């Protein structure tokens, strides 16, 4: 199983061989090569962050194989492990790595650990209303805004925009917070990375999905929320983030994600049930190869995320016993 690179330095190292042009698919990743004798049904259950992307991949794959049917259900990363354990789904997309308890539960049922492959790079975005003049927030300030425990060490709470440097009519405006629910991998990753595993404030308004967070922020001028960069719209603004208050600010761009500068960069994953002593059957194998092909990674760009470096693709295909273009 591939572990999530929780160390930001390690993540940056893994992405250092990203595409020469940050919004192009790495030219070393080959186009998908259609196989014969592929049919049947698949179900994907898990991450809302990956819901649109899984749908794009499913449509592209079914275009190659008209006899294949794929069902997509995205209610949160927390729904993926139980679906894989029970066999309800063949793919479990997650915007965070499986927790040790989830891995243990899977291993108790199947006798081996689940296998993950990386799908895309996400610069997890902090969105505000498009008219909000805020230019940058630090991780400590995000902790002050969203967390009641403030584990990053700040002594004071932040409840108004003036407390993070916004002036004029905005200064006295109360901050309105939007987030995801606990079934969401994005909820867990933001909690771990931005809040240093602190507790969310009770006043954070939990939304059922990433799109709902962005829509709420777009309709509330005092709002702030977090979501995958792929859900950005023209009605919201992605705020630059710094590691320390007063430090250099980085926009959630492909360049800063691949360089390891943007502080809330992550991989997006899909987990599968793969017996280490057996090869994957053609249906699942070909779908994975499609996701990790030039065609699949072009879908990543279309959905607003950032494509994988070829080195990551090759590594994950090898773990799954697969080879690109064959």
User: Where exactly are the structural domains of the chain?
Assistant: 8-123+266-319, 125-251
**The pLDDT value given to residue 23:** 81
Fold equal for 8-123+266-319 and 125-251: yes
Q: Measured between alpha carbons, how far is 55 from 78 in angstroms, rounded to an integer?
A: 19
Q: Name which CATH class applies to 125-251.
A: alpha beta
What pTM did the predictor assign? 0.90
Please tell me the distance from the alpha carbon of residue 59 to that of residue 81, in angstroms, as a whole number.
24
Give the residues across from 29 on adjacent strands.
Answer: none
Residues 6+ apart with CB under 8 A from 21: none
Residues, the chain:
326
d(CA 82, CA 157): 37
What fold is seen in the domain 8-123+266-319? D-Maltodextrin-Binding Protein; domain 2 (3.40.190)
Residues of the chain with pLDDT under 50: 1-10, 20-21
What is the maximal distance between C-alpha atoms in the chain?
65
The whole-number pLDDT of residue 4 equals: 34
SS3 40: strand
Q: Pull the structure tokens for residue 227.
A: 């979501």
């Amino acid at each position: 199983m591939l572990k999530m690179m929780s160390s930001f330095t390690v993540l940056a190292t893994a992405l250092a061989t990203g595409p020469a042009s940050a919004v192009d698919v790495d030219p070393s990743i080959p186009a998908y090569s259609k196989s014969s004798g592929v049919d049947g049904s698949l179900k994907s259950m898990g991450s809302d962050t990956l819901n649109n992307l899984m749908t794009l991949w499913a449509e592209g794959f079914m275009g190659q194989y008209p006899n294949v049917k794929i069902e997509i259900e995205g209610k949160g990363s927390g729904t993926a492990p139980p679906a894989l354990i029970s066999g309800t789904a063949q793919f479990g997309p997650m915007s965070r790595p499986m927790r040790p308890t989830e891995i243990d539960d899977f291993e108790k049922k199947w006798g081996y650990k689940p296998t993950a492959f990386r799908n895309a790079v996400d610069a997890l975005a902090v969105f505000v209303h498009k008219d909000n003049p805020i230019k940058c927030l630090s991780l400590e300030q995000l902790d002050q805004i969203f967390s009641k425990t403030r584990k990053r060490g700040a002594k004071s709470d932040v409840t108004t925009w003036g407390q993070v440097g916004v002036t004029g009519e905005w200064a006295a405006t109360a901050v309105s917070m939007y987030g995801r629910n606990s079934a969401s991998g994005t909820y867990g990753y933001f909690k771990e990375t931005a809040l240093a595993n602190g507790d969310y404030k009770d006043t954070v308004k939990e939304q059922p999905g990433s799109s709902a967070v962005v829509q709420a922020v777009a309709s509330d001028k005092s709002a702030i929320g977090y979501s995958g960069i792929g859900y950005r719209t023209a009605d919201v603004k992605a705020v630059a983030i710094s590691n320390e208050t007063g430090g250099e600010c980085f926009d959630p761009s492909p360049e800063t994600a691949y360089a390891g500068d943007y502080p809330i960069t992550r991989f997006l994953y899909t987990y599968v049930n793969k017996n280490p002593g057996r090869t994957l059957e053609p249906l699942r194998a070909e779908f994975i190869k499609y996701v990790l092909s030039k065609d699949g990674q072009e879908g990543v760009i279309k959905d607003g995320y950032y494509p994988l470096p070829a080195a990551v693709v090759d590594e994950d295909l090898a773990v799954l016993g697969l080879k690109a273009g064959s």
